[in-house]
Amino acid sequence: MKQRALLLYSGGLDTSVMIKWLQEEMDFDVVTLTLDVGQEKNDLEAIAKKAEKLGAVSTITEDVKQKFAREFVSAGILNDGMYQDRYPLSTSLARPLMALEAVQMAEIHGCDTVVHGSTGKGNDQVRFEISIKALNENLNVIAPVRDMNMNREEETEYARSHGIEIPYGGKYSVDENLWGRSVEGSSIEHPQEAVPYDAYRWVLPPEKAASVPENISIQFHSGLPVELNGKPSELTNMIAELNVKGGKNGIGAIDMIEDRLVGIKSHEFYECPAAMIIITAHKYLESLVLNKKESQLKKHMDQTFSEMVYNGLWYDPAMEHIMHFQKSVNSLINGKVKLKLYRGNIVPMGVESDNSLYDISKSTYGVGQTFDQSKSPGFIYVFGSQTMATIKGRKKLEREITINE
């Protein structure tokens, strides 16, 4: 019996070429797995048909949107996940889920090899391979695009000579899921130029955005958004809705120079309207509810989480400890945040929580204040004592040096 390979199949040129290549050059039987993580072009049936036509012995398609939202995006929200403070990790968070599905399907369908379509220059190869191996170290992992080192022209030629339909992919390299859209390549490779508007799909540029502001409210429970504008909303639906609302109001376009794990600097463009809105609201509510030490500790955890997710370490055991901390601290994050969406801006319009630490009787300059200001001079004396002592000491030293000279 021939060996079987499970291929993570998107229906695009790279992975279509791979179906043929794995059969012809590697003598594999190919099982394809296509996942719906909320990408726009998700005619899963047509993709499966295409795989069949190219000789796949079995084609699997799965809608994993809810699993993605509940287990991966929700962790992104609890952790305010942002790589280099700007990128909400949309592509990065989907990879460990895809690896998990691939491993499970490989085991069910008797495949000893998992194949993915990443190149050798990006972060995704790292995420797939570490995740797959962490879940089942006996599986082989191969990445033909990287390992064959075929360029786009060679691939197109291979496709032509093997009767593979060449999909119109546009000029950019795009990865999409419900948490965001990543766009690379073509003129985006030149950071000295503005990202052209034809790279935008979800977000209107500010000058074309709605001219009337849109007010929204988000209710959080244990750190997760549960209601939008007063109506309960399941996370997948809320994200879809906020992607539309945000996009219409020019929110969520991110232009960044990014440091990839593989040491390359790259110019990336992202569209993540829902992620930007939800994380902004979540952080605002946190600032009302957490004390200063809790916030500092959380920021540290948030950054470690983001770095680990970006670097493909979702399945590292340290992640479990981070999640315990985050669940504990997020159990306090209950309340409502009101926001105004307007031409690329997310403006806070009020925040409230039963766990609020804000005490107007302490902070007010008006009547009814309870803060005993007479205690402040003593506090300042003690707090500043070391600074004062250091200044005095250094001045004395300076005088001595001048006298000795």
Which residue do the tokens 């959080």 mark? 220
Q: Tokens 């988000």, residue?
A: 218
| Residue 249 binds to ligand ARG (criterion: CB under 6 A) | no
Phi-psi region of 81 (alpha: psi -120 to 50; beta: other; left: phi over 0): beta
* For ligand ARG, the closer CB: 23 or 266: 266
Nearest Cα neighbor of 7 from 65, 68, 64, 48 is 48
The 134-173 site mask, x for binding ligand ARG (CB under 6 A), equals ---------------------------------------x
Q: What is the DSSP letter of 23?
A: H
For the chain, how long is the longest CA-to-CA vector? 94
Could you tell me the CA-to-CA distances from 173 to 34, 160, 231, 294 in Å, in that order? 18, 21, 37, 40
| CA end-to-end distance (rounded Å), the chain | 92
List the structure tokens of 184: 């690379």
Asked whether 206 and 252 are in contact (CB, 8 A), the reply is no
- Asked whether position 306 contacts ligand ARG by CB under 6 A, the answer is no
Binding to ligand ARG, residues 313-342 (CB under 6 A): none
Q: Which stretch binds ligand ARG (CB under 6 A): 177-185, 220-228, 276-284, 350-358?
A: 177-185
According to CB under 6 A, which one of 184, 271, 286, 302 is a site residue for ligand ARG? 184
Token digits of residue 72: 């991966």
Helices (H) and strands (E) in the chain, counts: 15, 14
Q: In the bound complex, what is the minimum distance in angstroms from residue 276's beta carbon to ligand ARG?
A: 16
Long-range contacts of 185-192, Cβ-Cβ distance < 8 Å, separation of 24 or more: 188/267, 188/268, 188/269, 189/267, 190/267, 191/257, 191/267
14, 29, 129, 175: which one contacts ligand ARG (CB under 6 A)? 175
Between 66 and 186, name the residue whose CB sits nearer to ligand ARG: 186
User: Least distance in Å: CB of 91 to ligand ARG?
Assistant: 4
- Considering the rule CB under 6 A, would residue 3 count as an interface residue with ligand ARG? no
364-383 residues in contact with ligand ARG (CB under 6 A) are none
Least distance to ligand ARG from the beta carbon of 97, Å?
14
If the CB atoms of residues 50 and 267 are measured against ligand ARG, the closer one turns out to be: 267
Query: What positions carry a catalytic annotation?
Result: 14, 95, 124, 173
Residues numbered 255 to 294 that lie near ligand ARG (CB under 6 A) are 258, 268
CB closer to ligand ARG, 174 vs 341: 174
The interface region with ligand ARG, picked from 17-25, 176-184, 245-253, 366-374 by CB under 6 A, is 176-184
**Shortest gap between Cβ of 155 and ligand ARG (angstroms)?**
15
The DSSP-derived string for 177-234 is ETTEEEEESGGGG-TTSPPPGGG-SS---GGGS-SS-EEEEEEEETTEEEEETTEE--
Nearer to ligand ARG, 127 or 282 (CB): 127
Under rule CB under 6 A, which residues in 71-130 are in contact with ligand ARG?
91-92, 122-123
Nearer to ligand ARG, 118 or 334 (CB): 118
Nearer to ligand ARG, 87 or 220 (CB): 87
User: Which stretch in 182-190, 197-205, 210-218, 315-323 sits in contact with ligand ARG by CB under 6 A?
Assistant: 182-190
Per the rule left: phi > 0, alpha: psi between -120 and 50, beta: everything else, 96 is alpha
Cα–Cα distance between 180 and 175 in angstroms, integer?
Answer: 8
Task: Pick one of 32, 113, 177, 182: the residue that binds ligand ARG (CB under 6 A).
Answer: 182
Task: State the amino acid at position 258 in one-letter form.
Answer: E
* CA dist 28 → 49, 98, 155, 357 (Å): 19, 21, 19, 61
Which residues here bind ligand ARG, judged by CB under 6 A? Answer: 91-92, 122-123, 173-175, 182-184, 258, 268
